[in-house]
Amino acid sequence: MKRRLALLAAAAAVASAHAAVERIQVVERVPFAPGVSFGEYGAYEKIRGIAYYALDPKAAANASIVDLKHAPRDKKGRVLFSSEFVLLRPTAATLTTLLYDVNNRGNIAIMGQVNGRSPAQNDPTTAADAGDGFLMRHGFSLLFSAWTWDVAPTAPVAGTPPSRPLVFAPPVTKGVKGRVQNEFTVNAPADIVTYAGMRGLTYEPAKANDPHAVLTQRARPDDARRVIARSAWSFVAPELAGGPGRIKLEGGFQPDTIYEVSYVAKDPYVTGAGLAGIRDLLSYLRDHPFEGAPAPRNVLMFGISQSGRLIGRMMHDGLNVDESGKLVFNGAYLQVPGAGGSAGFNSRFAQPTRHPSMMEEHDYPADAFPFTSTPTHDPASGRTASTLDKARDKQGNLPKLIYANTSTEFWNRGASLIATTPDGERDVAPADNVRIYGFMGAQHYVGRSKTRAPFTACVSTSDHYLPMRALIVALDDWTTQGKQPPASAYPQLADGTLTTVADYRAIFPKGVGITPPEQNLREPRLNFGPRWAMDGTADQVPPKHGDDFETRVPTPDADGNDKGGVRLVELQAPLGTHTGWNLRDPGTGFAWATSRFDGSFVPFARTEAERVAAGDPRPSLEARYATRDAYAAAVRAAADKQVAAGLLLVEDVERTLRENLGLYDRIIARNPADQGCDYLFAK
């Protein structure tokens, strides 16, 4: 009898552990990249399905999900919803690492940056969609699912299949109202504009063309808002069905102006349910054989930018631990998350597509204290906390984490805060389960713009996708074999590689042709009222501002290239100055502000004669590398150094040599009088 009761108890425990996933429906199962064999892992397949969830609002594991308790429930008291998912995996039944890629605004992100090809129509199908097959050749099973709702529809392109974004339909809190606000700018005069976030949707007014809505304007973020007469503007229907609303202004909207519209909205989504859906899908697949394949040997998460910040928020809210108290991922890679993402994503009227920049979204809560993985004290609030305070499983284990930012995030997304005190005065060492990397001289994504506009300089060309590939493999080895990844490498105050903007401007070489910004993005302290910390409800919209958190930037060397951090091949064997910032062109407004995502590149003069004529203080290519072969040798030596450090894979050495030699040849062939940016890219 005791044995029978024990078996029944064990069965009940297993059932409760996966109560959140009721069932999974497979709607498509087809070969991926038919005819292609990816090394030792062979052929891959694509499984498209729908996961159905049931969340218990009374469960302790769901207590942090804002407004879940107010959502509609079934007869059993559960909140029901579903999400679409896509799984790419080897067809052979083998133990692999399941790598969950947090989609970015509905789009698969990891394949574009790591494999070198974003799937056409967001639907990975063909050999071309596999890019160079890196993730498949290394045996990863890739999982993508819908988690966010605020993705704007796109117009169909004639002659091509429709795109298939992964968009989530979350539970709705009916009858609830609240004030929301949206900031927006324009690059050129316009009569009608969209006021939602980047490629996103927003909550529309509860009352059509709300007569009590307020539109304001100001020149700088800290300037007083000036109200625009309500009679001078009106709400306009979306351009596309289901798209974001728009505003029409008499006399039109103008550059160099920050606009803000606020109004009462209704029926907020339970946006945090999307995070719980990720948690529970991973929990289910971690423990269950699925469609003929065994459960994975390892589960990892990966996110780029917005998606990386979402991982940060999951850990901040303890949503990386399932209802049974187990970690749902063993490791995570947060790529370019800036200050880490300990805010946003899980509050009433949350809009995940939004995040702050120098010019807009100054009042959206994308990041907030705590920022560091070990406890720090915030004198302003009196709190001592870390980002991982709620991230441990019931045994006290934490996932192994990689945070990687580029130079651009130090300028535009508060990246220094993940490793300093809130006042920016002292370094804070990462926790033992955390590695931090700074890809110096790189921008948010590898540069691809062939024009200067709407900025003043050509974009940075540094390829930080190559160390990303090495670190993904390192994270897998760390979580499966206990093999230590490369030591953290990021700018720090103690060694002088992290500094103030004022010092940066004083050190940066004069005569290069670009002038550093007057400021970087300073993370604001936002006060939304007393209920914000308790249940994610904003009573003060726009929020009140306290003193900003202090953010620092990497220190430049004599060439203007950033010190410290991961020394990319492009900085060890430089062809010019790579910065993490790029100032806006005065013609598009906000000449004092930096690009949200782009850095700058200014090549060295080809010869000493050209250098002297231009007044350039940086030694020329001729002075640095006597011949093309000498440059090639410098690149190979730098690549070998990166390989030894674990920051470049042997398979990628020839690629980095090819990329850098190609740029060298194009600089040599370029007429210095040509101010275009085409030369940055191979034809």
Phi, psi at 48, each rounded to 5°: -110, 130
* Pair of tokens at residue 532: 């914000």
- Predicted confidence band of residue 12 (pLDDT cuts 50, 70, 90): very low
Average pLDDT in the 6-16 region? 38
In angstroms, the CA 197 to CA 464 distance is: 27
Residue 2 has pLDDT above 50, yes or no: no
Q: Identity (one letter) of the amino acid at 631?
A: Y
In angstroms, the CA 258 to CA 614 distance is: 38
Residue 8 has pLDDT above 70, yes or no: no
**Which range has the worst mean pLDDT, 54-63, 291-300, 306-315, 356-365?**
356-365
Residue 18 has pLDDT above 80, yes or no: no
Residue 344 has pLDDT above 70, yes or no: yes
Instruction: Supply the pLDDT for residue 197.
Output: 87
- Map residue 497 onto helix, strand or coil: coil
- Predicted confidence band of residue 437 (pLDDT cuts 50, 70, 90): very high
- Predicted confidence band of residue 412 (pLDDT cuts 50, 70, 90): very high
* Pair of tokens at residue 141: 């099973």
Q: Is the bond leading into 90 cis (omega within 30 degrees of zero)?
A: no
Contact 311, 453 (CB under 8 A): no
Phi, psi at 409, each rounded to 5°: -70, -25
User: To 10 degrees, the CA torsion angle through 654, 114, 412, 598?
Assistant: 60
The domain locations on the chain are 1-90+138-153+270-297, 177-266, 304-537+546-601+636-683
- Predicted confidence band of residue 94 (pLDDT cuts 50, 70, 90): confident
* Pair of tokens at residue 140: 């990863």
Phi, psi at 555, each rounded to 5°: -80, 130
- Predicted confidence band of residue 15 (pLDDT cuts 50, 70, 90): very low
In angstroms, the CA 83 to CA 272 distance is: 13
In angstroms, the CA 45 to CA 224 distance is: 56
The CB-side HSE value for 654 (13 A sphere, CA atoms) comes to: 1
Instruction: Supply the pLDDT for residue 571.
Output: 98
pLDDT in tens, 480-502: 999 999 999 999 999 999 999 99
Strands across the sheet containing 226-228: 177-184, 258-266, 214-218, 226-228
- Predicted confidence band of residue 6 (pLDDT cuts 50, 70, 90): very low
Which residue, 656, 624, 663, 628, is CA-closest to 640? 656
Average pLDDT in the 176-197 region? 96
Which residue, 282, 323, 649, is CA-closest to 471? 649
- Predicted confidence band of residue 69 (pLDDT cuts 50, 70, 90): very high
Residue 399 has pLDDT above 90, yes or no: yes
Instruction: Supply the pLDDT for residue 19.
Output: 61
- The residues facing 443 across adjacent strands are none
Which residue, 134, 21, 38, 51, is CA-closest to 94? 38
pLDDT in tens, 614-660: 999 999 999 999 999 999 999 999 999 999 999 999 999 999 999 99
- Map residue 171 onto helix, strand or coil: coil
